[in-house]
Structure formats: C-alpha cells, structure tokens
C-alpha cells in the first residue's frame, strides 16, 4: 500500500513541532529555573498548555522529551572530549571526561537540575531520570579503555568495569556538585576525580 504524502508531511510536522516546543521549554527553564510552570513554558512558546499536552500527553511526557534532548547534547559533548583525549593516558582520559561533563552541566545548571527532578508522574520513585545515557557513555568509554589495553598487550576483559564505573562515578559526582551551595570550582572536582582514577588505572594495567 502506497504511503499518503499528506500523512508523511503531517508526521514530519509533528516531529518538528515537538522539537520546537522542547526548545521553548529549555529556554523557559533557563529563565524560570527547574521549578518552571507549564504556564511559563506555554507562554514562552506562544501557545497554550492544551497544545503542549496534545503533543506530549502530560508534564511527564514533556519531561521525557527534554531529558532526551539534554542527553543528546551531553553525549555529543562527551564524545568530542573522548575523541581528542590521549588514549594512551587513561588517567588523563578520566580527567578530560570529568571536565567535559561538569563543564556541560555547569553551562546550564537550571536545565540539569530540572533533569534531576523527575516529576512524580514519571513512574516509580526508583525511575532513573538520566535514562540510558550512562550506559551508552559507559560502552563508549569501555571501548576506549579496551583499545588501550589491547595496544599494551594486556587482557581487555576488565574494560567494561572501568568504563561503566568511571562514567557512573563522574555522573554521581556531578549530581552532588550541582546540589552543593556554594559549589567548589570545577577544576577542584576534576582534580579529585583524576586523583581517584589515575592510580587505579595504573594498578589495573600493571596486574
């Protein structure tokens, strides 16, 4: 059965409209903070709450779309950092990734706090507002560590442990850092993270 061109255009319009509404929501969060009201988001978008609910279902649906957009942004930034870091220096890689992640969340603190504050309607209290991002990044970092171990003629089976552990540690440190007032300088936190992982990586490679 042939696809109706009008259906295709309408679906693309829906996708574009959702993306546009998410952009307006991000701008509203930057202005009003993580406790932004739906009325503020609708006003920023020049529309009504009814229209937003039509596209996202409810606040939890809009929240999920915002989280997805934020994840894409963080993932792109971390991949850029991973591409330029020295794969031969795993301790340096830990510091580079930590600095990139903390820099991204520091740039948009209101949005990061919004992502951390999952709405009650999102699901169970144990639901993870960060979704699949840690797992995705953990796989990328694990692959980079495995490459380093293989080049050194070493067993790469421990790479997933180190990769996922590093990403989880950085994320947990960033969450705590963003909730601390006043926040210590980013460079100080990066130094602590690097100090933890550099000797650990050296010990793991030496065994």
167-184 pLDDT tens trace: 999 999 998 998 888 999
Residue 62 covered by a domain: no
Q: Using an 8 Å Cβ cutoff, are 193 and 187 in contact?
A: no
Q: Does 51 share its domain with 89?
A: no
User: Domain containing 196: what range?
Assistant: 67-206
Q: Does 83 share its domain with 132?
A: yes
| Last residue of one domain, picked from the residues 13, 28, 57 | 57
| Last residue of one domain, picked from the residues 33, 57, 81 | 57
* Residue 120 structure tokens: 């009650």
C-beta atoms surrounding 8 within 10 Å = 10
pLDDT score recorded for residue 44 = 95
Residue 53 covered by a domain: yes
Sign of CA dihedral 21, 22, 26, 32: positive
pLDDT score recorded for residue 121 = 43
CATH of the domain at 92: 1.10.357.10
C-alpha to C-alpha distance for 207 and 194, rounded to whole angstroms: 20
Q: Using an 8 Å Cβ cutoff, are 68 and 131 in contact?
A: yes
Instruction: Point out the residues of the chain with pLDDT beneath 70.
Output: 1-7, 87-88, 118-132, 204-207
Q: Does 86 share its domain with 182?
A: yes
Q: Does 45 share its domain with 84?
A: no
pLDDT score recorded for residue 176 = 92
pLDDT score recorded for residue 124 = 44
Residue 109 covered by a domain: yes
C-alpha to C-alpha distance for 44 and 28, rounded to whole angstroms: 6
Residue 198 C-beta-side C-alpha neighbours within 13 Å: 12
pLDDT tens by residue, 108-142: 999 988 887 766 544 444 455 555 677 888 888 88
Residue 96 covered by a domain: yes
Q: Does 88 share its domain with 187?
A: yes
| Last residue of one domain, picked from the residues 34, 57, 80 | 57
pLDDT score recorded for residue 2 = 52
C-alpha to C-alpha distance for 154 and 198, rounded to whole angstroms: 17
Q: Does 90 share its domain with 108?
A: yes
Q: Does 45 share its domain with 73?
A: no
Q: Does 50 share its domain with 111?
A: no
* Residue 50 structure tokens: 């009814």
Q: What are phi and psi of 145, to 5 degrees?
A: -70, -40
pLDDT score recorded for residue 122 = 46
Residue 33 covered by a domain: yes
Q: Does 32 share its domain with 131?
A: no
Q: Does 103 share its domain with 167?
A: yes
pLDDT score recorded for residue 128 = 53
* Residue 171 structure tokens: 């994320």
Q: Does 102 share its domain with 138?
A: yes
* Residue 5 structure tokens: 């061109």
pLDDT score recorded for residue 199 = 86
Q: How many domains does the chain have?
A: 2
DSSP string, 18-36: HHHHHHHHHHHHHHH-TT-
Residue 168 covered by a domain: yes
């Amino acid at each position: 059965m042939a696809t109706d061109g009008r259906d295709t255009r309408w679906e693309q319009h829906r996708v574009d409209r959702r993306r546009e509404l998410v952009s307006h929501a991000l701008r509203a969060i930057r202005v009003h903070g993580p406790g932004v009201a739906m009325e503020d988001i609708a006003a920023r978008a020049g529309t009504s709450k009814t229209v937003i609910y039509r596209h996202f279902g409810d606040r939890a649906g809009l929240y999920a779309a915002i989280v997805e957009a934020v994840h894409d942004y963080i993932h792109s930034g971390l991949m850029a950092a991973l591409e330029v870091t020295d794969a031969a220096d795993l301790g340096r890689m830990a510091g580079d990734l930590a600095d990139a992640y903390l820099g991204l969340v520091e740039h948009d603190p209101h949005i990061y706090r919004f992502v951390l504050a999952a709405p009650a309607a999102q699901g169970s209290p144990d639901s993870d507002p960060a979704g699949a991002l840690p797992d995705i990044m953990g796989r990328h970092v694990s692959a980079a560590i495995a490459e380093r171990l293989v080049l050194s003629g070493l067993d790469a089976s421990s790479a997933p442990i180190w990769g996922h552990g590093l990403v989880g540690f950085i994320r947990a440190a960033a969450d705590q850092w963003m909730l601390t007032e006043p926040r210590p300088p980013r460079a100080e936190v990066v130094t602590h993270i690097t100090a933890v992982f550099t000797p650990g990586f050296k010990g793991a490679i030496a065994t």
